[in-house]
Structure 1
Amino acid sequence: MARLFTEIFAPAVLAAVMPVVIGAHAGAAGWGLLAALFCAAIPYAMILRGVRRGRLSDRHIGERSQRTGPLVFGLASVLAGLGLLVAGGAPRELIALIVASFAGGVVATGINHFWKSSIHAGVAAGSAVVLVLVFGPLLLTSAAVVAAVGWSRVRLEDHTVAQVVAGAAIGAVVAGVVFGLLR
Structure 2
Amino acid sequence: MAARDEQERARLRSLGEVMKTRIPERDMNRSERKQQKSTQRKHAIEESRRKAAADTEVATLQMRLHQLKEQQAPERDDLQHQFEKAVAQQRVAAFQEAQAISRDAERMRDEAIAGAEAAADRVKQEEERAQKERHHRAQEEQARRALDQERFDAQQEEIRILREQIAAANHPRGRSPSP
Q: TM-score, normalised by structure 2?
A: 0.21
Q: TM-score, normalised by structure 1?
A: 0.21
Higher helix share goes to which structure? 2
